[in-house]
Amino acid sequence: MKKTKGSELAEKLTFTQPHIADAAPKAVEKAQAFCEDYKAFLDAAKTEREAVKEIERRLRKAGYQPLDRTAKKPYKPGDKVYYNNRGKSILAATIGKEDLEAGVRLMIAHIDSPRLDLKPNPLYEDTDLALFKTHYYGGIRKYQWGVTPLALHGVVAKKDGETVEVHVGEEAGDPVFCVTDLLPHLGAEQSKRPLSEGLKGEELNILVGSLPYEDEDVKERVKLQTLALLNEKYGITERDFVRAEIEAVPAFKASDVGFDRSMIGAYGHDDRVCAYTALRAEIDTENPKFTSVCVLTDKEEIGSMGTTGLNSDYVFHFLGYLADIQDGNYKLMLQNSKCLSADVSAAFDPTFPDVMEKRNASFLNKGVCLTKYTGARGKSGTNDAPAELMGFVADILDDAGVIWQTGELGKVDAGGGGTVAQYVANRDIDTVDIGVPVLAMHSPFEVVAKLDVYMTYKAFAAFKASKK
Which residues have CB under 8 Å from 325's CB, separation 6+? 68, 69, 71, 74, 75
> How far from the centroid of its chain's Cα atoms is residue 254's Cα?
15
Q: Which is nearer to Mn ion, 115 or 153 (CB)?
A: 115
Alpha carbons 10 and 6: distance in angstroms, whole number: 6
Question: By C-beta, is 343 or 430 nearer to Mn ion?
Answer: 343
3-state class (DSSP) for residue 431: strand
The strand pairing partners of 371, in sequence order, are 433
| 459: Cα within 13 Å, side-chain hemisphere | 31
Could you please report the per-residue DSSP string of 120-141?
A: EEEEEEETTEEEEEEEEESS--
**Shortest gap between Cβ of 385 and Mn ion (angstroms)?**
17
Q: How far is the CB of 118 from Mn ion (least distance, A)?
A: 21
Tally of CB atoms within 10 A around 352: 10
Residue span binding Mn ion (CB under 5 A) among the ranges 206-214, 269-277, 371-379, 450-458: 269-277
| Between 342 and 397, CB nearer to Mn ion | 342
User: Distance between CA atoms of 362 and 57, rounded to whole angstroms?
Assistant: 34
Task: Point out which residues pair with 115 in neighbouring strands.
Answer: 137
Q: Which is nearer to Mn ion, 48 or 271 (CB)?
A: 271
Smallest distance from Mn ion to CB 419, Å: 7
Stretch 118-147 residues interacting with Mn ion (CB under 5 A): none
**CA pair distance 358, 374, nearest whole angstrom:** 16
Distance CA 54, CA 360 (A): 36
In DSSP terms, 107 is beta-bridged to 294, 340
Stretch near Mn ion under the rule CB under 5 A, chosen from 37-45, 263-271, 291-299, 453-461: 263-271
Q: How far is the CB of 60 from Mn ion (least distance, A)?
A: 26
Which one of the spans 58-66, 146-154, 170-178, 270-278 is the region binding Mn ion (CB under 5 A)? 270-278
Which of 151, 129, 289 has its CA nearest to residue 209? 129
Region from 170-178, 229-237, 262-270, 327-335 binding Mn ion, contact rule CB under 5 A? 262-270
**Min dist. Cβ of residue 268 to Mn ion (A):** 10
DSSP structure string for 71-88: -SSPPPTT-EEEEEETTT
Distance CA 303, CA 142 (A): 19
For residue 159, the minimal CB distance to Mn ion (Å) is: 35
Closest CB to Mn ion among 271 and 298? 271
Q: How far is the CB of 176 from Mn ion (least distance, A)?
A: 24
DSSP for 159-197, written as a single string = TTS-EEEEEESSSTT---BEE----GGG-TTGGGS-GGG
- Tell me whether residue 48 or residue 125 sits nearer to Mn ion (CB atom): 48
Output the smallest distance, CB 10 to Mn ion, in A. Answer: 37
The span of 142-150, 268-276, 310-318, 388-396 binding Mn ion (CB under 5 A) equals: 268-276
Cβ-based nearer residue to Mn ion, 141 or 243: 141
Whole-number minimum distance, CB 271 to Mn ion, in Å? 4
Half-sphere exposure of residue 228: CA atoms within 13 angstroms, side-chain side: 12
Give me the least distance between CB of 262 and Mn ion, in Å please: 22
Which CB atom, from 270 or from 452, has the smaller least distance to Mn ion? 270
The Cα–Cα gap between 41 and 37 comes to 6
At 39, is the secondary structure helix, strand, or coil? Answer: helix
CB of 237 to Mn ion, least distance (A): 35
Q: Number of residues in contact with Mn ion, rule: CB under 5 A?
A: 3
Residue 56 vs 271, nearer CB to Mn ion? 271
Q: Which part of the chain contacts Mn ion (CB under 5 A), choosing from 178-186, 200-208, 252-260, 264-272?
A: 264-272
Closest CA to 381 of 304, 271, 282, 454: 304
* Residue numbers 329-348 binding Mn ion by CB under 5 A: 343
- For Mn ion, the closer CB: 110 or 221: 110
Among 50, 56, 125, 271, binds Mn ion (CB under 5 A): 271
CB burial of residue 148 (10 Å; 0-12, 13-18, 19+) = middle
Contact status: 452 vs Mn ion (CB under 5 A)? no
Q: Which of 247, 270, 433, 452 binds Mn ion (CB under 5 A)?
A: 270
Q: Enumerate residues 171-230 that contact Mn ion by CB under 5 A.
A: none
Contacting residues toward Mn ion, per CB under 5 A? 270-271, 343
